[in-house]
Chain A
Amino acid sequence: EIVLTQSPATLSLSPGERATLSCRASQSVSSHLAWYQQKPGQAPRLLIYDSSNRAIGIPARFSGSGSGTDFTLTITSLEPEDFAVYYCQQCTNWPPNTFGQGTKVEMK
């Protein structure tokens, strides 16, 4: 079973700042990694698939990179609506279709 470890657990930033979130896999997932954003009381929303491809309707300030075991989600300039919890998920080696434990981006 692949384990995804996200860091940091919490990121305290101000609007306009850059956010860098990390996801590390316990074994290679090639580029088959997705990122999601979840706000309180809502379902997760797909941001990035295949490590670096933005899903439909996702703003360009969201970008993903990485391959193998190390991945990064970057939000270049935080907007007020970007404060949320972010999850990574591996999409290649199931079962299980693992999620990371999440990174909370909170307003400083």
Chain B
Amino acid sequence: QVQLQESGPGLVKPSQTLSLTCTVSGGSISSGSYYWNWIRQPAGKGLEWIGHIYTSGSTNYNPSLKSRVTISIGTSTNQFSLKVDSVTAADTAVYFCSRASTENYGSGRRGFGMDVWGQGTTVTVSS
């Protein structure tokens, strides 16, 4: 079955760029109708959706982070990636990647929940 694994630096300096990769194994990132998501969770707090990318490459971002976030997909590498620019201590969190199946709905799309998750990776922003 499909598995996801996050990777990237665990420590990032303030004002620098946080870069994470999610590797998809057990299936092709290009097959099916899926959104590939990034979610984060500060210690002791709830889940915050960062954004997602569709298999076609189209993206949606959380408006609260949109100006600093880029999600990209690599079909040849079977990976998708997250970049967050100009990080501060408020970006310290556990970062998860996940998969959500989706279908056309009205003039847009809708999802069926995130059925596959990575184990999460802790990113600390500190000098």
Binding site for B on A (CB under 8 A): 1, 32, 34, 36, 38, 42-46, 48-50, 55-56, 87, 89, 91-92, 94-102
Binding site for A on B (CB under 8 A): 37, 39, 46-49, 51-52, 60-64, 66, 96, 98, 100, 105, 110-115, 117-120
Q: Which one, B39, B60, B112, contacts A50 given CB within 8 A?
A: B112
Contact A96 B63 (CB under 8 A): yes
For the complex of A and B, 5 pairs with smallest distance between CB atoms: A34-B113, A49-B113, A91-B111, A43-B117, A96-B62
Q: Tell me if B's interface is mostly helix, strand, loop or mixed.
A: strand
Q: Tell me if A's interface is mostly helix, strand, loop or mixed.
A: loop
* Chain B residues, Cβ within 8 Å of A97: 37, 49, 52, 60, 62, 111
Q: Which one, B60, B63, B112, B117, contacts A91 given CB within 8 A?
A: B112
* Chain A residues, Cβ within 8 Å of B113: 34, 36, 46, 48-50, 55, 89, 91
* Chain A residues, Cβ within 8 Å of B111: 32, 34, 91-92, 97
